[in-house]
């Protein structure tokens, strides 16, 4: 008996800078697809173990695999292994993938290799890159005083250059006029990409995005010029910390205020040290209780929130903390260790079960597949940073 041929599974990669809303979009898209009766597999990615996102998405009931210890491009074999495992054991109808938020050049190092190595089994969707409008607005308004360094902004720019779809997220977070002005600037600056507006959090525009990533359109075909020295230096300017801390108390504790106070204390600690937060994320889990907290900048009006269930107080919880902050690993570790002492109630006993702190090492992709048709995006400005891209183009001087 011959086996019926199965159609390839659509794989949807969602990139974009740290804190832009990738995991939120994957979660909401996963829920919407599951409501249509589809099985949703997800591959998450981090430079270290103990990723809050993985735990959060597993809690939702999706089939989740994690590629840890390096980004998708440097751990492509692991990504391939995880995707195959999900395809064979979980049998998803759709596969969603979230690369690390400081990565770029993914069309050449992840999307095209995936298409090549899993030909006939996976079908790569147009590549979406998410943008946080507040972060973008801050960069444009503050110019050279922008808290993120030029090399980090270089990565930010490269991420946008290679997008098939630029998704301006958090439409709920800005007045409509300001949001529309940003959307127009993105369209003008990146004319090759389709720019969509979305609120991943409240699902505004989610249907239109899902339609766009299910269209048969060119995916990951852009060739961009990436200067790997600048890219590596940009990533190295970000301190990365993942920690797992067991918290115990003699009497039951209500964990929500604990999570909120800890995030506030971390924000103050980074502010005092002039260290710009790219994204600090925490989860607190106790029996029947799961909270997630986020902080997506230090300066301006930091976006700080804690979501989750508030069940009966308990005497023990596991805190997982992921911090990506523009500072050295040593300074990051010092700030976090000090804040775990001062920002948590004194009556809590803290046991650090694991703490990894480093800055990402130079990206060395396993594969680099050129596009079918070469194009020269960024070649004229190989070290361009996001600010420059939005500057009005100078008229050519007459000779």
Summarize as ranges the residues that interact with ligand GDP (CB under 6 A).
16, 18-24, 101, 169-170, 172-173, 199-201, 279, 281, 294, 296, 305
Q: Which is nearer to ligand GDP, 23 or 285 (CB)?
A: 23
Q: How far is CA 1 from the centre of its chain?
A: 45
Local structure of 1: helix, strand or coil = coil
Q: How many CB atoms lie within 10 A of CB 310?
A: 12
Q: Does residue 368 come out as left (phi exceeding 0), alpha (psi in the -120 to 50 range) or beta?
A: beta
Q: Which residue is nearest to Mg ion (CB)?
A: 23
Q: How far is the CB of 291 from ligand GDP (least distance, A)?
A: 12
Binding mask 6-45 for Mg ion (x = CB under 5 A): ----------------xx----------------------
The yes or no reply on residue 276 touching Mg ion (CB under 5 A) is: no
Q: Which is nearer to ligand GDP, 24 or 128 (CB)?
A: 24
Local structure of 278: helix, strand or coil = strand
Residue 199, contacted partner among Mg ion, ligand GDP, none, CB below 5-8 A by kind: ligand GDP
Q: How far is the CB of 170 from ligand GDP (least distance, A)?
A: 4
Check: CB of residue 100 under 8 Å from CB of residue 347. Answer: no
Q: Which residues of 38-52 are buried (b: 16+ CB within 10 A; e: fewer)?
A: ebbbbbbbbbbebbb
Local structure of 310: helix, strand or coil = coil
Which position among 46, 53, 161, 162 is part of the footprint of Mg ion (CB under 5 A)? 53
Local structure of 94: helix, strand or coil = strand
Q: How many CB atoms lie within 10 A of CB 200?
A: 26
Residue 20, contacted partner among ligand GDP, Mg ion, none, CB below 5-8 A by kind: ligand GDP
Burial class (CB in 10 A: 0-12, 13-18, 19+), 119: exposed
Q: Which is nearer to ligand GDP, 92 or 133 (CB)?
A: 133
Q: How far is the CB of 376 from ligand GDP (least distance, A)?
A: 29
Q: How far is the CB of 5 from Mg ion (least distance, A)?
A: 35
Residue 173, contacted partner among ligand GDP, Mg ion, none, CB below 5-8 A by kind: ligand GDP
């Amino acid at each position: 008996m011959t086996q019926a041929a199965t159609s390839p599974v659509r794989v949807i990669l969602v990139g974009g800078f740290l804190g832009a809303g990738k995991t939120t979009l994957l979660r909401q898209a996963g829920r919407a697809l599951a409501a249509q009766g589809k099985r949703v597999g997800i591959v998450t990615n981090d430079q270290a173990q103990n990723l809050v996102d993985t735990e959060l998405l597993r809690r939702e009931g999706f089939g989740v695999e994690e590629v840890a210890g390096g980004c998708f491009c440097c751990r492509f074999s692991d990504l391939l292994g995880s995707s195959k495992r999900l395809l064979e054991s979980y049998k998803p109808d759709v596969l969603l993938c979230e690369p690390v938020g400081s990565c770029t050049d993914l069309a050449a190092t992840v999307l095209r290799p995936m298409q090549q190595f899993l030909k006939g089994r996976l079908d790569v969707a147009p590549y979406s890159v998410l943008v946080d409008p507040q972060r973008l607005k801050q960069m444009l308004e503050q110019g050279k005083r922008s808290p993120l360094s030029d090399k980090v902004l270089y990565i930010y720019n490269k991420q946008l250059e290679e997008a098939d779809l630029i998704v301006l997220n958090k439409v709920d977070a800005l007045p409509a006029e300001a949001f529309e002005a940003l959307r127009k600037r993105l369209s003008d600056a990146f004319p090759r990409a389709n720019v969509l507006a979305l609120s991943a959090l409240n699902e505004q525009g989610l249907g239109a995005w899902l339609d766009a990533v299910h269209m048969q359109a060119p995916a990951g075909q852009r060739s961009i010029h990436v200067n790997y020295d600048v890219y590596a230096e940009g990533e190295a300017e970000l301190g990365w910390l993942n920690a797992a801390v067991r918290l115990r108390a003699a009497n039951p504790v209500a964990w929500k205020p604990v999570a909120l106070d800890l995030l506030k204390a971390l924000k103050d600690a980074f502010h005092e040290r002039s260290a710009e937060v790219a994204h600090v994320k925490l989860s607190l889990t106790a029996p029947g209780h799961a909270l997630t907290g986020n902080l997506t900048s230090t300066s301006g009006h930091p976006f700080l929130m804690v979501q989750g269930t508030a069940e009966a107080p308990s005497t023990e919880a596991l805190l997982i903390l992921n911090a990506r902050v523009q500072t050295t690993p040593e300074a990051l570790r010092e700030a976090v260790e000090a804040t775990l002492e001062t920002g948590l109630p004194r009556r809590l006993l803290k046991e650090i079960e694991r703490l990894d702190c480093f800055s990402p090492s130079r990206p060395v992709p396993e594969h680099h597949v050129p596009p079918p048709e070469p194009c020269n995006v960024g070649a004229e400005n190989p070290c361009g940073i996001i600010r420059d891209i939005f500057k009005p183009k100078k008229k050519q001087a007459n000779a």
